[in-house]
């Protein structure tokens, strides 16, 4: 199944990203070892110049990863016609055991990349580049993840054989399935709703609090992560039901389809950007005490906390509106 | 925020002016870039339109077709077979179909002879000794309604038919080689006794029951072969995707060449350009600003090339029938239908195309741009 245009495009993008990061790794090591802002030596000058290349390269790689995530989901949805029993992205991703790991690793890389970009932004605004070492160490730490995402994707596409009988979202997300996604949808809507709204309320409050007093970075980041998971569970277990107006259709991907007026984008765009900036707040927190960042970090953290609070609030509002607007009655009373 | 936007506006303004100053060099790059986008977009638009049309054509075909197999070959349905099928829950209608191929030595091509289903449009025109012909047949044999035409059957007898009508051009994709005739004529022409059929068509209302019905069929009639519409569709989808992928892989050589070309263009800075960057840095631009300017340059060039190439490809495919790629992507036949493709454009396709063109361009230009951006002002101005 390699000769599908979108698959070629995705593999090309991932492979080039891995190659670029791998090519950057020796330079990153050099930077970590020899960086000395006070020195005026030739090497230091060269390293300083190289940082420009590195941050451009990495911003590009990470922007690519974001686009690739979108294309990956689109592609899975498009290919569903080629698999017996697959009606949307779930069926395609389920066609072999690498589908969902590939998607999850892609999402993971996306969030890591976003956090890195936030740190990079803070660093480039300080006059003495205090985070260069940290940044490039982090980069070296991320390389395996990007490579893993590429490997999973390659494995997934190589093992993809058209015509395999896969399960449609109807059976996967039904209560009997003994998978994580099955558990998520099997959760009673009432419980899921409590979890959903309380996690979102907590993260919004924490983010707003952080706007006033930017000290709770880790809290915001942790809560963002929890809220992201709770939001996904909520989408699978009840929001999607209200959108489809069908008590057993738990699919988180069909929301993105034209049949449902692309409503999913209204959910996923705020959710992903809010989570990414929430994690970014946490990534900044350890550097608040560095003197040259003393004014920059709180300022940036404030702004990101705003985005987090607004994003999650928008997400909650959209989800609530969908429930409100639906003709389905899931909970009585 | 406002300041940021103003800054970007100023940068774009400057970039445009700077691009315009080196018209010839940039025009060359733009031309090659546009050509690449045009080639790839043509392939993608064409295959996606073919896929779309195949799906549209199959939409009206029966959900299940049952063929009888004898020694692994397709055979006629004997009398009593339809009854043996019995009533299968979920099947709305079952009907025996009569069709076959006839080789016409005059045009050296095969026609499909078919008895129209009772309620099919145009069926009332097919009286005994009358035929309705497809557009390609009419074209090849120079037929108009009212003409008389004779065919020598496989048994050697000569049969004459009056052409009652020519099928509309709009349906040519499916009916190019089609000849519709009445059941009595068909049976006489091919000498097929009453009660026999070529195959059986089943209509199923609920698409989710199709597979169940197919498995019931093969249980009840082990010598039958059910062909499902969704399987046909899936196969078309795979084939066209595969063809598209192969062509794209073949074109990957040109993408690589283009990336090398872009790299060369971006790294071979003229003395004038170098001086420009040197002066900019001397008057206070930072390396980051030069990078931003180059970034906007890339965006502008890519967007222009992408739009131009895509529009050209659209015209090529939908107005000029993709003259360049037709032989590879369409397949061939003696009586090939002439058809216009329905324009289909989707975001997914554009995103894929983006990865094939803008992505390699950007990858190829990052390092040269950085090299240009770190130029020392004094080194340039002294040199």
Which CATH number fits the domain that encloses residue B129?
Answer: 2.40.40.20
Cβ of B242 and A53 within 8 Å?
A: no
- Mean of the pLDDT values across residues A206-213? 84
Q: What is the pLDDT of residue A176?
A: 45
Complex prediction ipTM: 0.79
What residue of A is the nearest CA neighbor of B374? Answer: A49
Task: List, as one string, the DSSP characters of A171-234.
Answer: HHTSTT--SHHHHHHHS-HHHHHHHHHHHHHHHHHHHHHHHHSTT-HHHHHHHHHHHHHHHHHH
Domain boundary among the residues B201, B227, B253 is at B227
pLDDT at B220: 80
H or E stretch including B121? none
pLDDT band at A314 (very low <50, low <70, confident <90, very high): very high
> Do A31 and A51 touch, CB atoms closer than 8 A?
yes
pLDDT, residue B292, reads 86
The dihedral through the CA atoms of B109, B115, B121, B125 has a sign that is: positive
Of B279, B65, B211, residue with least CA distance to A83: B211
The CATH number of residue A306's host domain is 1.20.120
Domain boundary among A109, A132, A167: A167
Is residue A333 included in any domain, yes or no? no
In a domain, A311, yes or no: yes
Interface of B with A in 203-222 (CB under 8 A): 211
A269: in domain = yes
Q: Based on the domain organization, do A194 and A235 belong to the same domain?
A: yes
Indicate if A158 and A215 belong to the same structural domain: no
Decide if pLDDT at B12 tops 50: yes
Full DSSP string of A133-178: HHHHHHHHHHHHHHHHHHHHHHHHHHT--TT-----HHHHTSTT--
- The mean pLDDT of B276-283, rounded to a whole number, is 85
Please enumerate residues of A whose Cβ is less than 8 A from a Cβ of B: 2-10, 12-13, 16, 20, 49, 52-53, 56-57, 60, 64, 67, 70-71, 74-75, 78, 81-84, 124, 162-163
Residue A170 has pLDDT above 60, yes or no: no
CA angle B209, B215, B216 (to 5 degrees): 85
Average pLDDT across chain A, whole number: 82
What does the pLDDT read at residue A311?
92
pLDDT at A166 over 60: no
Q: Does B348 lie at the interface with A, CB-CB under 8 angstroms?
A: yes
Q: Residues B316, B287: one domain?
A: yes
3-class DSSP state of A95 = coil
| Cα distance between residue A120 and residue B191, in whole Å | 82
Q: What is the pLDDT of residue A163?
A: 62
- Give me the residue from A52, A71, A84 closest to B355, CB to CB: A71
pLDDT, tens only, B157-180 = 898 999 988 888 777 777 788 888
* B120 pLDDT above the threshold of 90: no
> Do residues B244 and B373 share a domain?
yes
- Are both B41 and B94 inside the same structural domain? no
Average pLDDT over residues A68-96: 79
One domain for residues A35 and A158? yes
Residue pair A68/A116 in contact (Cβ under 8 Å)? The answer is no
Whether residues A276 and A244 share a domain: the answer is yes
Same-domain pairing of B37 and B83: no
Interface check B350 vs A, CB under 8 A: no
Same domain, B261 and B207: no
Measured between beta carbons, the chain A residues lying within 8 angstroms of B248 are 5, 8
Q: What is the mean pLDDT of chain B?
A: 83
The answer to whether A78 contacts B352, with C-beta atoms less than 8 Å apart, is: no
A contact test, residue of B351, B372, B379 with most A CBs within 10 A: B351
- Render pLDDT for B293-336 as a digit per residue (tens, 0 to 9): 888 888 899 999 999 999 999 988 888 777 777 766 666 666 66
Nearest-CB residue to B374 (from A5, A52, A78): A52
Lowest mean pLDDT among A35-49, A159-173, A226-240: A159-173
Q: Do residue B258 and residue B367 come from a single domain? A: yes
Q: Which residues of A touch B244 (CB under 8 A)?
A: 4-5
CA-nearest residue of chain B to A82? B234
Tell me the C-alpha distance between B7 and B285, whole Å: 12
Co-location of B257 and B165 in the same domain? no
Q: Assess B88–A contact: CB distance below 8 Å, yes or no.
A: no
Instruction: Beginning with the edge strand found earlier in the chain, give each strand of the sheet holding B158-166 in spatial order.
Output: B99-104, B109-114, B178-181, B130-133, B158-166, B148-152
Residue A125 belongs to domain spanning: 1-167
Indicate yes or no: CB of A5 within 8 angstroms of CB of B352.
yes
Q: Are residues A175 and A322 in the same domain?
A: yes
User: In the listed set B173, B201, B227, which residue is the last one of a domain according to the structure?
Assistant: B227
User: Rounded CA gap, B12 and A237, in Å?
Assistant: 47
Specify whether B89 is located in the same domain as B193. Answer: yes
The minimal CB distance from B348 to the residues A3, A7, A74 is found for A74
Q: Is residue B353 located within the same domain as residue B246?
A: yes
User: What digits encode the pLDDT tens for the residues B190-212?
Assistant: 998 888 999 888 888 887 778 78
Q: Are residues A119 and A202 in the same domain?
A: no
Question: Is B249 an interface residue toward A (CB < 8 Å)?
Answer: yes
Please report whether residue A186 resides in a domain: yes
Tell if the CB–CB gap between A81 and B370 is shorter than 8 Å.
no
SS3 content of chain B, % helix, strand, coil (to 5): 60, 15, 25
The more confident residue out of A117 and B344 is A117
Question: Pick from A151, A167, A183: which residue ends a domain?
Answer: A167
Contacts of A81 in chain B (CB under 8 A): 233-234, 237
Residues A269 and A324 in one domain: yes
CB contact under 8 A, A57 and B366: yes
- Whether A137 and A189 map to the same domain: the answer is no
Give the Cα separation of B226 and B66 in Å (integer).
4
How far apart CA B293 and CA B288 sit, in angstroms, is 9
Classify residue A20: in a domain, yes or no: yes
Domain boundary (B227, B251, B272) is at: B227
pLDDT in tens, A254-302: 887 777 878 888 888 899 999 999 998 888 888 878 888 778 888 888 8
Min CA distance, A68 vs chain B (Å)?
9
What are B121-131's pLDDT values in tens digits?
666 777 888 89
Of the partner residues B211, B287, B352, the one whose CB lies closest to the CB of residue A6: B352
- The domain of B310 spans 2-58+235-382
Range B37-42 average pLDDT: 89
Asked if B41 and B313 count as a contact pair (C-beta separation under 8 A), the reply is yes
Mean pLDDT in residue range A309-317: 92
* B60 pLDDT higher than 90: no
Are A112 and A200 members of one domain?
A: no
Number of structural domains found in chain A: 2
- Asked if A120 and A259 sit in the same domain, the reply is no
Chain B interface disruption, residue of A1, A2, A5, most B CBs within 10 A: A5
**Burial class of residue B5 in the structure, from the number of CB atoms within 10 Å of its CB (0-12 exposed, 13-18 middle, 19+ buried):** exposed
pLDDT tens by residue, A45-71? 888 888 888 888 888 887 888 888 888
Q: Is the domain of B218 the same as that of B337? A: no
Comparing C-alpha atoms, which of B355, B310, B159, B32 is closest to residue A75?
Answer: B355
The residue-averaged pLDDT of A129-157 equals: 88
Strand runs labelled E in chain B: 64-70, 73-75, 91-97, 99-104, 109-114, 130-133, 148-152, 158-166, 178-181, 199-204, 224-228
**Same domain, yes or no: A181 and A163:** no
The reply to whether residue B44 touches residue A5, judged by beta carbons under 8 angstroms, is yes
State which of A112, A133, A167 marks the end of a domain: A167
Average pLDDT for A83-96: 75
Q: Are the Cβ atoms of B249 and A8 closer than 8 angstroms?
A: yes
List % helix, strand, coil for chain A (3-state, nearest 5).
75, 0, 25
Contact B355 A78 (CB under 8 A): no
Residue A116 has pLDDT above 80, yes or no: yes
Which residue of B242, B354, B374 is in closest CB contact with A49? B374
Please state, in angstroms and as integers, the Cα–Cα distance from residue B265 to each residue in B29, B261, B270, B366, B375, following that order. Answer: 8, 6, 10, 12, 17
Mode of pairing for the β-strands spanning B158-166 and B130-133: parallel
In total, the C-beta contacts within 8 angstroms joining chain A to chain B are 85
Same domain, A201 and A153: no
**Percent residues over pLDDT 70 in chain A:** 90
Residues B168 and B294 in one domain: no
For B240-257, what is each residue's pLDDT tens digit?
778 888 888 888 888 889
- Same domain assignment for residues B77 and B194: yes
Number of domains present in the structure of chain B = 2
Distance CA A36, CA A43 (A): 10
What integer is the mean pLDDT of B22-37?
88
Strand, coil or helix: what is A332? coil
């Amino acid at each position: 199944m390699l000769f599908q245009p979108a698959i070629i495009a995705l593999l090309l993008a991932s492979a080039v990203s891995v190659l670029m990061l791998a090519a950057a790794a020796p330079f990153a090591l050099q930077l970590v070892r020899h960086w000395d802002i006070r020195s005026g030596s030739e090497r230091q000058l060269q390293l300083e110049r190289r940082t420009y290349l590195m941050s451009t390269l990495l911003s590009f790689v990470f922007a690519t990863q974001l686009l690739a995530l979108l294309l990956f989901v689109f592609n899975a949805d498009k290919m569903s016609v080629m698999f017996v029993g697959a009606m949307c992205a779930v069926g395609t991703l389920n066609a072999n055991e690498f589908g969902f790991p590939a998607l999850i690793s892609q999402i993971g890389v996306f969030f890591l990349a976003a956090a890195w970009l936030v740190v990079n932004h803070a660093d480039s605004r300080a006059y003495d580049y205090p985070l260069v070492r940290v940044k490039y160490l982090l980069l070296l730490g991320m390389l395996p993840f990007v490579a893993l995402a590429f490997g999973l994707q390659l494995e997934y596409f190589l093992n993809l054989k058209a015509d395999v009988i896969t399960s449609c979202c109807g059976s996967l997300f039904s209560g009997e399935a003994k998978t994580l996604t099955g558990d998520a949808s099997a959760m009673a809507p009432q419980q899921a709703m409590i979890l959903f709204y309380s996690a979102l309320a907590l993260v919004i409050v924490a983010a707003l609090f952080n706007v006033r007093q930017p000290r709770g970075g880790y809290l915001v980041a942790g809560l963002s992560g929890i809220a992201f998971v709770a939001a996904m569970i909520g989408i699978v277990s009840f929001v999607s039901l209200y959108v489809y107006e069908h008590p057993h259709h738990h699919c988180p991907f069909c929301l993105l389809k034209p049949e449902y007026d692309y409503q999913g984008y209204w959910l996923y765009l705020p959710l992903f950007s809010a989570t990414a900036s929430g994690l970014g707040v946490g990534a900044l927190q350890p550097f608040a005490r560095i003197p040259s960042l003393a004014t920059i970090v709180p300022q940036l953290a404030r702004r990101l906390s705003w985005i987090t609070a607004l994003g999650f609030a928008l997400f909650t509002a959209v989800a609530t509106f969908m429930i409100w607007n639906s003709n389905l009655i899931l909970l009585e009373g | 925020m406002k300041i940021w936007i103003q800054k970007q506006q100023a940068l774009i303004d400057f970039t445009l002016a700077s691009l315009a100053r080196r018209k010839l060099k940039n025009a060359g790059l733009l031309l090659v870039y546009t050509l690449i986008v045009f080639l790839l977009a043509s392939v993608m638009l064409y295959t996606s339109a073919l896929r779309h049309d195949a799906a549209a054509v199959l939409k009206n075909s029966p959900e299940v077709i049952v063929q009888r197999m004898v020694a692994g070959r397709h055979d006629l349905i004997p009398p009593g077979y339809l009854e043996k099928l019995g009533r299968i829950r979920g099947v709305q209608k079952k009907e025996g179909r009569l069709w076959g191929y006839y080789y016409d030595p005059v045009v050296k091509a095969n026609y499909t002879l078919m008895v129209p289903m009772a309620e099919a449009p145009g069926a009332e025109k097919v009286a005994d000794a009358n035929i309705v012909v497809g557009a390609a047949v009419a074209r090849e044999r120079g037929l108009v309604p009212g003409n008389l035409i004779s065919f020598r059957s496989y048994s050697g007898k000569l049969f004459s038919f009056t052409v009652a009508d020519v099928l509309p051009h709009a349906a040519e994709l499916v009916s190019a080689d089609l000849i519709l005739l009445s059941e009595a004529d068909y049976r006489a022409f091919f000498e097929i006794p009453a009660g026999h059929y070529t195959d059986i068509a089943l209509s199923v209302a609920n698409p989710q029951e199709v597979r169940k019905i197919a498995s019931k069929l093969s249980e009840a009639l082990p010598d039958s072969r059910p062909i499902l519409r969704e399987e046909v569709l899936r196969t078309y989808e795979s084939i066209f995707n595969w063809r598209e992928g192969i062509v794209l892989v073949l074109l990957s050589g040109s993408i690589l060449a283009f990336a090398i070309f872009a790299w060369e263009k971006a790294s071979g800075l003229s003395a004038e350009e170098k001086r420009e960057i040197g002066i900019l840095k001397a008057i206070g631009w930072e390396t980051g600003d030069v990078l931003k300017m180059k970034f906007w340059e890339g965006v502008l060039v890519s967007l222009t090339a992408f739009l131009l190439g895509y529009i050209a490809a659209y015209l090529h495919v939908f107005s000029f029938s993709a003259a360049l790629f037709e032989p590879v992507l369409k397949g061939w036949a003696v009586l090939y239908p002439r058809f216009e493709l329905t324009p289909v454009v989707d975001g997914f396709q554009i995103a894929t195309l983006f990865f094939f063109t803008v992505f390699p361009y950007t990858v190829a230009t990052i390092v040269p741009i950085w090299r240009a951006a770190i130029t020392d002002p004094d080194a340039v101005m002294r040199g």
